Amino acid sequence: MTTFDPYAPSRDTTEGTVFSVTGGDWDSLIQEIGSTKEERVVVNMGPQHPSTHGVLRLILELEGETVTEVRCGIGYLHTGIEKNIEFRNWTQGTTFVTRMDYLAPLFNETAYCLAIEKLLGITDDVPERASVIRVMMMELNRISSHMVALGTGALELGAITPMFFAFREREIVLDLFEMIAGLRMNMAYIRPGGVQQDLPEGAIPKIRSAVKLMRRNFKDNTTLLVGNSIWLKRTQGIGYLDLAGATTLGITGPVLRSTGLPWDLRKVQPYCGYENYKFDVITADTCDVYGRFLIRIDELEQSLRIIEQALDKLEKLEGAPVMVADKKIAWPAQLALGGDGLGNSLNHIREIMGTSMESLIHHFKLVTEGFHVPAGQVYVAVESPRGEIGAHVVSDGGTRPYRVHFREPSFNNLQATSAMSEGGMIADIIGAVASIDPVMGGVDR
């Protein structure tokens, strides 16, 4: 410690010498650390770090390059979504929950809306076409989410090309979302009682051709990574977590399925009519990062299968309603695309403004005040790309939720980081975290 290093200043504390590292100075740092007698080094990684999958902060205790302890620091993206929902009506809540896990917005919305429908007792009244659209949208979303998991996961381990392919595929899905819901992310498309609007004209052929294109495109990443010896070395045997560990930690999703247990809520506790679709639950028995990677790759094809079946169903259900018939619950707006963009259809405006005062009152009351939900509580879980997302929703009988809590799979699964990484090399933490695929918007809510 003879000269001042602008990149690695150090100061002495009661805990020992603290070095602040900002990059480009590893040689001098190692020299300085080498001069201390301490073997144990505590390193802070993140929250602004390109490899920590968002604003995740990892506090690592190292001995050489071996990790002896990992702690996660979270909360950097906490936005109080659960609190905010209590101050808006039930329908407005969808615009909040869609922003939690921003890579899988449709799953958040579905869990929330299914919970409201269960509280209202209208689960069986949701039109079939709405359920089929929900399934199709969720599976498209699963593809786009898995694409980010694969692309960023590969990027974080040093493979850049897979990221380009993955984001190319994600772009296809986001374009479809834009066509259907008007927004590419955070679309608040799934609403209590159904979906916000029906599919636009010509949507089904477009989705069909996108499915065909994606099926061909997926091969690019498969050929790049499956069996690739560098990729195998970075992923095989890394981030090990077996079934006993996964169970006690409450781990679900691809991480649980990588232990060989075919637990998929779409199969075992079907919702939205998933029992009517043919698809396989993909598992691996390696309990490692490579197994989770293979599961995500193979789930893409299963999602495509479900989308194709959903499109077949939608063709048969052409013109069927997409919102419950009960006008006390169904959103009154009738959307239509006009010359100035999407808005209430002219016929609806003509009715409420020109002919029926009661229609106007009804529209106004339902939009501003909302509908009442009978008192009680429910817990509804759906299978998101990351595992079980559960909505615990409590109503006191009012027009706004009394309490909404989300059991976020990212939040829960991130706890496995320590079990997966401790005792391993520092470089393998990145692979382990990437294989959990946490989305910090969901973790922190």
Partner 1 sequence: MTDNGMFGARGTGDTSGYGGLVRTEASIGSSERPYGGYFDEVADDLERAYPEFSNAIDRVVVDRGELTLHVKREKLVEVAIILRDTLKFEMCMGVSGVHYPNNTDRELVAVYPLLSMTNNRRIRLEVCVPDADAHIPSLVEVWAGNNWHERETFDMFGIIFDGHPGLTRILMPDDWQGHPQRKDYALGGIAVEYKGATTPPPSDRRTYR
Nearest alpha carbon to residue 188 among 273, 291, 85, 271 = 85
Q: Whole-angstrom Cα distance, residue 113 to residue 132?
A: 15
Using the rule CB under 8 A, which residue among 40, 66, 87, 226 binds partner 1? 87
Q: Which stretch binds partner 1 (CB under 8 A): 231-239, 247-255, 293-301, 344-352?
A: 247-255
Near partner 1 by CB under 8 A: residue from 394, 425, 426, 427: 394
Q: Is the peptide bond before 47 cis (omega within 30 degrees of 0)?
A: yes
**Selected binder of partner 1 within 32, 86, 128, 351 (CB under 8 A):** 86
User: Tokens 């509580």 appear where?
Assistant: 377
| 220 CA to centre of own chain | 24
199 makes contact with partner 1 (CB under 8 A): no
* Contact indicator for 384, 442 with CB cutoff of 8 Å: no
User: CB–CB of 112/393 below 8 Å?
Assistant: yes
Give the one residue of 261, 281, 333, 360 binding partner 1; rule: CB under 8 A.
Answer: 261
Interacting span for partner 1 (CB under 8 A) from 58-66, 114-122, 168-176, 289-297: 114-122
Using CB under 8 A as the binding rule, whether residue 95 contacts partner 1 is answered as no
The yes or no reply on residue 111 touching partner 1 (CB under 8 A) is: no
377 is a contact residue toward partner 1 (CB under 8 A): yes
Q: In the numeric block, which tokens belong to residue 398?
A: 């009012």
Which lies closer to partner 1 via its Cβ, residue 22 or residue 248? 248
DSSP state of 369: T
118 contributes a contact to partner 1 by CB under 8 A: yes
Q: How far is CA 381 from CA 111, 300, 402, in A?
A: 6, 21, 19
The residue from 390, 438, 441, 442 that contacts partner 1 (CB under 8 A) is: 390
Nearest-approach distance from CB 130 to partner 1, in angstroms: 20
Q: Select 259 or 303, whichever has its Cβ closest to partner 1.
A: 259
Q: How far is residue 178's CA from residue 390's CA, in Å, rounded to a whole number?
A: 26
Asked if 254 and 437 count as a contact pair (C-beta separation under 8 A), the reply is: yes
Rounded CA separation 187/182 (Å): 7
The verdict on 368 binding partner 1 (CB under 8 A) reads: yes
Q: At what angle do helices 289-316 and 203-225 cross, to 10 degrees?
A: 160
Q: Retrieve residue 89's tokens.
A: 């009506």
CB contact at 8 A, 318 and 119? no
Site for partner 1 in 326-365 (CB under 8 A): 365
Alpha-carbon distance of 359 to 361, in angstroms, equals: 5
Residue 200 or residue 398: which is nearer to partner 1 going by CB?
398
Which of 16, 50, 64, 80 contacts partner 1 by CB under 8 A?
Answer: 80
Applying CB under 8 A, among 18, 226, 230, 268 the residue interacting with partner 1 is 268
* 44 scored as a contact of partner 1 (CB under 8 A): no
Residues 399-428 that bind partner 1 (CB under 8 A): 399-400, 402-403, 405, 407, 411-412, 414-415
Q: Residue 437 burial by CB count (10 A; 0-12/13-18/19+): exposed, middle or buried?
A: buried
Interatomic CA distance for residues 346 and 362, integer angstroms: 17
- Interface with partner 1 (CB under 8 A), residue from 223, 346, 379, 423: 379
Q: What residues contact 367, with CB distance under 8 A and at least 6 apart?
A: 331, 332, 333
Of the ranges 54-62, 84-92, 225-233, 312-320, which one interacts with partner 1 (CB under 8 A)? 84-92
Residue 214 or 282 with smaller CB distance to partner 1: 282
Q: Which of 5, 32, 33, 88 binds partner 1 (CB under 8 A)?
A: 88
Which residues contribute to the site for partner 1 (CB under 8 A)?
74-75, 78, 80, 82-84, 86-89, 118-119, 121, 247-252, 261, 263, 268-269, 365, 368-370, 375-379, 381, 388, 390, 392, 394, 396-400, 402-403, 405, 407, 411-412, 414-415, 444-445
